[in-house]
Amino acid sequence: MLETIKSLAHQLAPECIAIRQHLHAHPELSYEEFETAAFIKQELHKWGIPFQEMAKTGVIALIEGNHPSKKIIALRADIDALPIREENNVPYQSKNQGVMHACGHDVHTSCLLGAARILQQTRNEWEGTIKLIFQPGEEKNPGGASLLIKEGVLENPAPEKIFALHVHPGMEVGKFSFRGGMVMASADEIYISIKSNGGHAAAPQLTADTILIASQLVVSLQQIISRNNDPFNPSVLSITSIQGGNSTNVIPSEVKLMGTLRAMNETWRFKAHELIINQTHKLVEAMGASADVRIDVGYPFVLNNEALSAEARKQAEVYAGKENVTETELRMGAEDFAYYSHLIPACFFRLGAGNKAKNITANVHTPIFNVDESCIEHGMGMMAWLALTAG
């Protein structure tokens, strides 16, 4: 089966690269992936794979082998893009102004479609059922995974295990990485509004200076991490936006802050929420203004099942060679795959997509992000292989 999968991955790679380029040229934002979903359904229909729609732009498909109920394994890919204007000068550059597949979801979708094609063509040679999850809205709260779960994606049939991959531009093409346990952080969004009467910049004594208060608050909030959190417990608090004022001689009546909290411990995560809220109110009120604080609770941390990840790594070494499989580093980025990982055994692994010799090294979420497209052949083959061996 190993050589069959490798052979099919190699044979189908050009077609799947073309799929990636089509998706890359036609990106859609979270929960707006209507054309993307239509394209996915078109490909599945062409290959004779039955599917259903879920959560408006989600597509769920089933491939049955021999004895379909013997085991049920899920494979997931995210399909949404980011609000970034692409700067790559490539034939398949984004045609949707200000929208770009800057996180590799076009690659993920192409890999899953390729794996689907492999599994469909070999369905008489393996046992069980493979559930394919083409998921919308990974990049935006509440996360498409949470919506699909509410609509029953993990039921009828209920998968026993789930796998997903993510491109890694910092790892050379042809390589993979795995890690058991916590692998990515939770992510919460912070919104703060500081309000006063405002006033003339030449008479600061007559009002509370919202700009000064915001500046003090940004510095003060950093102490929540440095002086309340266990230094051996990874956590990040970043204020990423300050909006207020539009004149040199006016103290604005309102300044807005936005930011994010990342954590890998649920107890600390929610304690930090309380500290952020309390510290904001006390500092702002002490300086004569008022504050509104809202924390949108986002994705939990990604939890890779230890046994499943160990088995997946072992099988990956069989497929790609031990020298091409390594350990995934802890990352404070977030992924809504986390929702699946807290409900069933899950394995979220990395796909090498960079190529230093070709100067393909730009990080995700940047306007010049790209991949060495040969990673698609590796990714689709690995997804199919793990579904049949590690599952």
Q: Report pLDDT for 391.
A: 72
- Are 236 and 130 found together in one domain? no
Which candidate, 352, 351, 354, places its Cα nearest to that of 368?
354
- Residue 331 and residue 262 in one domain: no
Q: How far is CA 187 from CA 156, 262, 269, 298, 379, in A?
A: 30, 5, 9, 5, 27
Q: Please check whether residues 198 and 325 belong to one and the same domain.
A: no
Together in a domain, 180 and 190: no
Q: Which residue numbers are catalytic?
A: 80, 138
pLDDT digits (tens, 9 = 90+) for 257-273: 999 999 999 999 999 99
Per residue in 114-172, pLDDT (tens digit) is 999 999 999 999 999 999 999 999 999 999 999 999 999 999 999 999 999 999 999 99
Tokens of 44: 């599945």
pLDDT for the residue 375: 97
> Do 231 and 360 reside in the same domain of the chain?
no
The one-letter amino acid at 312: A
What count of residues does the chain have? Answer: 391
- Same structural domain for residues 123 and 216? no
Instruction: Determine the structural domain holding residue 237 and report its residue range.
Output: 186-296
Confidence of residue 46 (pLDDT cuts 50, 70, 90): very high
Residue whose C-alpha is closest to residue 181's, from 297, 332, 325, 330: 330
pTM (two decimals): 0.90
Of the three residues 296, 324, 350, the one that is the final residue of a domain is 296
What is residue 257's predicted lDDT score, i.e. its pLDDT? 98
Q: At 213, which CATH number?
A: 3.30.70.360
Q: Where are the alpha helices (DSSP H) in the chain?
A: 2-25, 34-46, 105-121, 144-150, 210-228, 266-286, 306-320, 338-341, 375-389
Contact 79, 34 (CB under 8 A): no
pLDDT in tens, 328-360: 999 999 999 999 999 999 999 999 999 999 999
| Spatial contact of 347 and 386, defined as CB atoms under 8 Å apart | yes
Which residue type sits at 212? L
Considering its fold, how many domains does the chain have in total?
A: 2
Residues 28 and 140 reside in one and the same domain: yes
- Please tell me the distance from the alpha carbon of residue 379 to that of residue 381, in angstroms, as a whole number: 5
* CATH code, domain with 345: 3.40.630.10
The pLDDT confidence band at residue 255, using thresholds 50, 70 and 90, is very high
pLDDT at 157: 96
